[in-house]
Amino acid sequence: MRKCVIFDLDGTLTRSEEGIWNCVRYAAEKLGFPEPDAPTLRKFIGPPLGYSFREYMGMDDEMAQKAVEAYRERYNVTGLFENRVFPGIRRLLRTLKQEGWYIGIATGKPQRTSERVVAHFGLDKFVEKLCGPVADHRADKIDLIRGALPKGWDAATDDIWMVGDRKFDVEGAIGAGVKSIGVGYGYGSEEELRQAGCTHYCPTVQDVIDFLCPGATPPKGAFLSIEGLDGSGKGTQLRLLCDVIDRYGFELVQTREPGGCPISEKLREIILDKNNTDMDDVTEALLYAAARAQHVRQIIRPAIAAGQVVLCDRFVDSSVAYQGGGRQLGVQRVMDINAPAVDGTLPLATVYLDIDHETALRRRAAATELDRLELAGDSFHTRTEAGYRELIRHDPERFIVVDATKTPQEIGTEVAEKVLARLMEAE
Ligand code: TYD
């Protein structure tokens, strides 16, 4: 039997309240209305805009029309991208594709806007057909669902599902003669969906995967790491990158080295304890490798196998740069020590925040308490920087080198663009 699934967009694949609320606020401010409070803003999700401006903000017809224009002015440029793909949606779409499903979208949001949103998040490659209202008239959900179906398919002989978060989706599916799945993670309640008569109810994205693709092997996830000298601004960039990865619907596992799991965190305490001044360099390198061996097996590999995206704050490159370069154990020796720990599990991409060690040191000067490693003196950092440079020369494909002297925002944008491109390429 041929298999087809049609998704609703807002509340099912993506959540758009951030953009909607920002645009409502913008329109209110532009027309001199007080800023709407949170309960008022929440009411704007779902109904037609003009209706909401009249009903919830007390505008007359003419003012509501102006508000809709102001809203669109911002929405069409920025608002539509202030959107998030629900976590796990990419894995759902990949699994469906892998299992031979035809994927369509039927949305109440204008066709052109929806296409831009879907393309922006790199979901267009999964979708055969997207059907939304063209021009300004509101289309019936039944027609939209029919429009997204593959030509010549028939609910009597083919397995066809509509997946949505509101009763309109379920009613549309019934009208179009196809089965429906109501999802509980969007804007509608279980009660609403069941009352509307959904064929099946799935509280989570995982439930949709299990229901439509039982027993399917999850598509492989990805492994990313971020590196840089102490003071390169890694903490800030890590936070920004985590938000971007999550926003795009990848399932993020954030972790760090040394550490990331209980055994490795215990080793971290020993390694970074500034009272351990007599720690031998070889001991240190082996402890880092031991912590890594546990981390790779207990956290990193299982997450990749489950389809998640692992973002690791430092990985084996830190050992090569710090122990190999900084502590002068030599690049090859540190690689040899780490071979059984890493055992072939290398990042798909490694962000390197490029800053010279002097600038990095000046940035760190504000920090009150420096740990043992950071107390090792300036020449240590000179050699560590050289270690990183050598690694990048050897593996330019894997490294994403970013100028870390720019503003955090500029760096964040560049990192996000490049990392997302790699992640989507690997999908
Ligand atoms: P951390 O608190 O993570 O510092 P940062 O915020 O700069 O990453 O401490 C990690 C320290 O450990 C850092 O100085 C780099 C060092 N390190 C190594 O020397 N070798 C390694 O293999 C790893 C993972 C870290």
Number of H helices, E strands in the chain: 19, 13
Q: For 232-262, write each residue's pLDDT tens digit.
A: 999 999 999 999 999 999 999 999 999 999 9
Q: For 172-219, write each residue's pLDDT tens digit.
A: 999 999 999 999 999 999 999 999 999 999 999 999 999 999 999 999
Q: How far does residue 420's CA lie from ligand 1's centre (Å)? A: 25
Cβ < 6 A, ligand 1 pocket: 230, 234, 257-258, 272, 288, 314, 318-319, 322-323, 373
**Ligand 1 atom 4 nearest Cα:** 230
Strand blocks (E) in 150-220: 159-164, 179-183, 200-202
- The pTM score is 0.91
CA separation for the pair 382, 389 (Å, rounded) = 11
Residues 6+ apart with CB under 8 A from 424: 122
Q: What is the pLDDT of residue 89?
A: 97
Residue 231: pLDDT band (50, 70, 90) is confident
Q: Which of 247, 405, 251, 385 is nearest to 321 (CA)?
A: 385
User: Would you report the helix, strand and coil content of the chain in percent, each value rounded to 5?
Assistant: 50, 15, 35
**Ligand 1 atom 25 nearest Cα:** 318
Ligand 1 pocket test, pick from 318, 334, 353 with the greatest ligand atom count within 8 Å of Cβ, gives 318
Q: Lay out the sheet containing 3-7: strands in order across.
A: 129-131, 102-106, 3-7, 159-164, 179-183, 200-202
Structure tokens at 213: 């693709």
**Residues 333, 334, 338, 343, CA torsion sign:** negative
Q: For 148-173, write each residue's pLDDT tens digit.
A: 999 999 888 999 999 999 999 999 99
Structure tokens at 32: 């001199």
Ligand 1 pocket test, pick from 227, 314, 371, 372 with the greatest ligand atom count within 8 Å of Cβ, gives 314
Structure tokens at 104: 């369509």
Q: Which residue has the tokens 């035809």?
A: 102
Q: For 376-398, write each residue's pLDDT tens digit.
A: 666 888 999 999 999 999 999 99
**Ligand 1 atom 6 nearest Cα:** 230
* SS3 of 221-234: CEEEEEEECCCCCH
CA separation for the pair 85, 248 (Å, rounded) = 5
